[in-house]
Structure 1
Amino acid sequence: MKDLIKFLTRYEKFVFIIMIVVPWLSAPFLGKKTFKRFTPGALFICIFVVIESLVAHKRLWWLFHKRLVPKVIGELPLIIGPFFIGTLWIMKFTFGNFKRYLLTNFFIDAFFVYIHVPILKKLGYASLIRLRKFNFLLIFLFKAVLLYLFQMIFEKKIMR
């Protein structure tokens, strides 16, 4: 584990770029129709997450200690990489079945909060400060419901 930490620390900018690029390699498999349909919702929730991150940093809910670009939030590689593309994939396979959507989000978010966040902490990338893991999970689930509502309204009002 120490060797992995040394490697990731030494090449952290490269790791951040990989974190962004690898999820985007799956984008062509989403299909053009899916990409067009769910991109507005994914953009909406990504913007929401950026605003949430600014509030979180101010209130010390969590901190990202390393950044791809100075003076830009440390969450950016996660937001524009796995979060954006993951949102599209989840919406593709679950939109229209809220129970499946919420269960899928619960398991993915729980994995992130309880497995991935401790790894990020060990790597010195990020850590929770004034927020418990359970509360962090609730925030993720709130965003999932918000995204679903946005997509429903978007499709009813705008996509007519």
Structure 2
Amino acid sequence: MKKSRYFLIVLFIISWSSLFFINKNALKRFLPAAIFISIVTKCTNIYAKKRRWWAFYQSIHPKVAGEDTWAWGPFFALTIWVLKWTYGKLPLYILVNLMIHSLFIYFVLPLLKRMGIFSLVRITGKQYFFVYLFREILLYSFQSIKEYIGRKKLT
């Protein structure tokens, strides 16, 4: 249990530390979308907890929910990085997300299960993939609408 908690703490710190390497304009541009999708992820996790779709067994602190560690840690930072690299290039955005989600579901998820951090309970990896896919479509749509509204205000 201690090793998995240290793993989560290091993962959380590294993901947030990576944001120091993004320029300030890109961070300001994509931060609202990252906050939005983190809130959507939190709501999804609440619903999934009731339905027992998946379970988080470990967190960085007993008072912090396990799903919050992921929603506000690696997923948050990765969202900003992916948008920075791929926004405006929809086919590339879809391809990058498909690769990231596939890697997570088929390689990282079994590792997390062995470490006693997270596992799928009542859904399959394929169903979990579609949850991710829906989130990413929602994320890109949010960012597109935000950019459109921003352009409208300038003119």
Q: TM-score, normalised by structure 2?
A: 0.92
Give identity over the alignment, percent.
36
**Structure 1: 5+ residue runs without aligned partners?**
1-8
Structure 1 residue identity aligned to 2:56: F
Kindly state the Cα deviation for residue 60 of structure 1 after the two structures are TM-superposed: 0.4
Aligned length: 152
The alignment partner of 1:25 has SS state of helix
Instruction: Verify the 8 A CA contact 2:101 2:129 in the aligned structure 1.
Output: yes
For residues 77-102 of structure 1, what are the alpha-carbon distances to aligned partners after superposition, in whole Å with 9 as ceiling and x for unaligned?
A: 22222111110110001000111001
Match of 1:75? 67
Kindly state the Cα deviation for residue 73 of structure 1 after the two structures are TM-superposed: 2.3
The answer as to 2:44 corresponding to 1:65 is no
Q: TM-score, normalised by structure 1?
A: 0.89
Kindly state the Cα deviation for residue 126 of structure 1 after the two structures are TM-superposed: 1.1
Match of 2:138? 146
Structure 1 residues 70-79 or 47-56, which shifts more? 70-79
Instruction: Verify the 8 A CA contact 1:61 1:129 in the aligned structure 2.
Output: yes
Aligned equivalents of 1:85, 1:57: Cα separation in 2: 23
Match of 2:39? 47
Give structure 1 regions of 4+ aligned residues with deviation exceeding 4 angstroms.
Answer: none
RMSD: 1.4
Aligned equivalents of 1:55, 1:158: Cα separation in 2: 32
Match of 1:117? 109
